Structure 1
Amino acid sequence: MAHNVEKDDVTGIETTGHEWDGIKELNNPLPRWWLWTFYACIIWSIGYWVIYPTWPLISSHTKGVIGYSSRQDVMDKIADAKAAQAQYLDRIEVASLADIRNDSELLNFSLAGGKSAFAVNCSQCHGQGAQGFKGYPNLNDDDWIWGGLPEEISATIHYGIRSDHDDTHYSEMPAFGRDELLEREQINQVVEYVLKISGQEHDEAEATEGQTVFVEQCASCHGNKGEGMRDFGAPRLTDAIWLYGGDRQTLRETVNNARFGVMPAWTNRLDEATIKQLAIYVHSLGGGE
């Protein structure tokens, strides 16, 4: 029985006989080069299945002829890197911070390691560049509540601030308004005085009255002139560096409700070498003393 071959009027190519909404499908075979490439890929995949680990099993996988494992390759590289670092980490662990800073090899290694450790453990609160945020100190400036010497920074990292460690730095500011230790008028007066000693616009009459309140209620921690006292973790109030903000509204909120920021103790979370590297790195940022 003869087969009727239909050809497209425009291209002259045979059709497959399929038609959709008046559109006919042309019988255009795939190019030979494409088909041979496809066949070659199939052959290649079969060879890959044989040589490399490929198919998952119930509790394992096919190992392949050569038994290659990319995971093991990564683990080997990590082990090699740790072995290369060990010679420095072992020295850092037993060396003092002063010795590390005086040894160019250990110093450079500590700065690199500290930067990496900071990104993993500290940047979430202090920022990638240690610039800080509201309630989280900027570590690039020279305003240190608990001290900016390498040893003091190390102690802060070890034990934290108001953490659950027995040796933590601890201070607690009274909530003068919430606990009704001062009247609203007295709070407004002491806020004006703090604005005055920090070089901001203020009400002079209120500030004069506020000085008396400050000496009676605040000077025992912040100093008679607001210069701050590290023994009590009380910040300096005479500069333009503020942890929570130095505007009138924020100062009122601080005096009313107090602040109680917490930094965790890292002594049981990080090893000694890592903490030393962090202390060296933080000190190098520009604000260390």
Structure 2
Amino acid sequence: MNVNLDDPINQLTFLGAIVIAVLSFGVSAKYINQMKTDKAEGELAKENWDGIGEYKNELPPGWAYSFLATMIWGIWYFLVGYPLNAFSQVGQYNEEVKAYNEKFQEHHKNPNKEMGESIFLVQCAPCHGETGDGLSGKAQDFTSRFTKEQVLHVIKNGQNQLKYPMGAMPAGMAAGADAEAIATYVANGMKGEAPASFVACASCHGADGKGMNGMSPNLAEYDETVVVNTLKNGKKGNIGTMPSFNTMLTDVQMKSLSAYISTLKQ
């Protein structure tokens, strides 16, 4: 353990310990020598025990000074050195956490995929897999945006969990062959010519399916808005339920995750 000798409190503590040690040694030496040379004298007290009595000697000055010095030091210690009302373990913990958070925010104030990867491996990989492939359908596959089954599920049931400005997507906007055509087109990465029925989707998601600058979900890729909204709100889909991470991750960490997830696309 390292002791900070530049701290005045520690300096006074060491000085006090040295003074006490010197006084103790001096007083002990004096009385050891006195026991060797002195003869019994003085007034005996009335009390005795089986003929064994004691003299009415006054308290040795060294003891008296030591007691007085100890009392003064105790008063100083509790009122000036380490006031009882100026320290709490909880307060010290909160100050240390605040200082660490400030250090963390300064060091990680800009999101990047390296930070996102480390967060992903701890928070996301247990469900989505280390490579983000969804562990064979047990969770969302980040190497592709949608499966056909997922698109059909949303078309049939609607969606209002991610709090986009455009609002809720109503259920049943397409059915039958139209729904199949939309699902196939979106699941294939929106490549080639869009089916005629996709016009119902384009009115909110845009002709390119990229969400019209964050007004609605991006159907083409995992952009920052999709990832952050999902992390903040959680989501229940045809695979299962993903909890909200709003209280577990900061905005910077969420954006970092988005930067990393965008690199997983095949």
Give me the TM-score of the superposition, normalised by structure 1. 0.32
More helix by share: 2
